[in-house]
Structure 1
C-alpha cells in the first residue's frame, strides 16, 4: 500500500500546490477530472463497496449508509462544497478552522475503504477526486489572504488524511484497535453514504442548469466504463 498512499498524498498535494501555476476561473480540465472521478467513485461504490458491506448479513448497514449520506451534508455546511471543486471566498475571521476540520474528516473517511482490498481501483478514483478538491481549497485559502506557506501547510494537512484513513481502517479490519473490527461493515456503511453523496452531487452539478455538455458527458461515461471494466475483470 506504500505506492498507493504516496499517490493519494501527491495527487492532493500537487493538485493544491498547482494553484500557484494556474490562476483564473477557467479550469476546464479540472472540471473534467472531477466529473470523471465522480462517475468512477459512484461505479465503484455500487459495484464493490455496497455488496461487500452487506456480505456479513448485517441488517443495520443501510441505516449507517443513510447516516453517512446525511453526515456529508452536515460537513458541507462547513466546507461549502470544496469537496466538489467549488471555489468560494469566505469570511477571513471564520476561516480556515471549520473548512479544514470538515475536509480533513472527509479525506480521512474516504481513505478507509482502501483496506477492503480494492486499492488499485479506489485509490485512482479518490486521487483524481482530491486533485480539484485540493485546488479549490488552495484557491479559497489564497482568496482569504493566507500566505504561500500557509496554503501549502493546509494542503499538506488535507493530503495526508486519506492515507491516514487507510492505515486506521487497515488496523481496524485486522483487529488491531480493540474490538472495533466487529463494526467494520457499519463504519464502511458511513463511508458508502459519503461516497454516494459526493459522487451524485458532482454528477448533478456537472454544468450550468445541471446539464451535461458533450465533453463532460464523455468524461462521466468513461468514469463509469472504467469502473465496470474493473468489475468485469475481477469476475
Structure 2
C-alpha cells in the first residue's frame, strides 16, 4: 500500500503540472505549502525519533544529509525547490545529471520506510507531500502539446519508482540502521524546506501570501501529528 501511495503522489503532482504548469503562482504556493509541512514533520517527528536513542554522534548524519543535498543540487539545479532553467527545453528531455540527482534524492527518502506499516506515519506523509511540487515541475516540463510522449512517461516512471526501490532495499538492512538513514534524510529535508521558506523575497518585502502558505503547511502537519499520536 505504501508503495502505491508513493507512486500515486508522483502521478498526482505530474498531472497537476500538466494542467496548471503555466500558473507560476499556483506552483509557488504549492511549493511553499509543502515546505511548511516538511519542516514541521522534521522538527516535530523525524528529529525527535532520531535523537531518542543513545547515539550521541547521530547529529553528524543530519549534517551529512544537509551537505549531501547541497552536492545533489549541483546535479538537480534546484529542481526540488521548484527551480528549473529552461535552457534545455529545446531538447524536450531532462538532463541526465538532473535525472540521476532526482533519483538518488527520492531513493534515499524511501529507505527509512522499510518495514513501515502505518500509512499515516508523519514521515511518509512528509514524503508524499514533498513529492507533489517536485512532480508538478516535472509534469509541467515534460508535457508537450497537452500530452506526454513515451519518453516523458519513461522519465516519470524512473522518478516514481525511486522511493519504492529504496523502501525495498531497506528491507534487507539491519533495522538498527534505520535511524542513520532517517537522520540523513532529515538533513536533506531540513535543507530543502529551509531554502524554500527563507529565500529572500523581492526587495526583502514581507510576502504575506508566503507566510500564510507556510502557516497552512505547518497546520496540516500538526493536524497529522495529532492524528498519528492518537
**TM superposition score category, shorter chain reference:** 0.7 to 0.9
Aligned to 1:103: 102
Q: Whole-Å Cα distance in 1 between the matches of residues 101 and 203 of structure 2?
A: 27
Deviations 1:34-58 (A, max 9, x none): 1111111111111111111122211
Count, aligned residues? 222
**Are 1:5 and 1:163, in contact at CA under 8 Å, matched by a contact in 2?**
yes
Instruction: Could you list the structure 1 runs, at least 4 aligned residues long, displaced by more than 6 angstroms after superposition.
Output: none
**Are 2:112 and 2:181, in contact at CA under 8 Å, matched by a contact in 1?**
no
How far did residue 142 of structure 1 move?
A: 6.2
Q: Verify: 1:56 aligned to 2:53, yes or no.
A: yes
Aligned to 1:166: 167
How far did residue 210 of structure 1 move?
A: 6.0
Q: Verify: 1:114 aligned to 2:109, yes or no.
A: no
Matches within 5 A, 1:1-235: 2=1, 4-24=2-22, 26-91=23-88, 96-115=95-114, 119-120=119-120, 121-141=122-142, 148-169=149-170, 171=171, 176-177=172-173, 180-205=174-199, 207-209=201-203, 213-233=207-227, 234=229
Q: Whole-Å Cα distance in 2 between the matches of residues 40 and 78 of structure 1?
A: 25
Q: Whole-Å Cα distance in 2 between the matches of residues 107 and 212 of structure 1?
A: 33
Query: What is the TM-score of this pair, normalised by structure 1?
Result: 0.81
**Are 1:83 and 1:130, in contact at CA under 8 Å, matched by a contact in 2?**
no
**Are 2:18 and 2:143, in contact at CA under 8 Å, matched by a contact in 1?**
no
How far did residue 208 of structure 1 move?
A: 3.4
Q: Whole-Å Cα distance in 2 between the matches of residues 211 and 16 of structure 1?
A: 32
Q: Which runs of 5+ in 1 are unaligned?
A: none
How far did residue 158 of structure 1 move?
A: 0.7
Q: Whole-Å Cα distance in 2 between the matches of residues 165 and 207 of structure 1?
A: 36
Deviations 1:147-175 (A, max 9, x none): 72212211121112222223333x1xxxx
Q: Which runs of 5+ in 2 are unaligned?
A: none
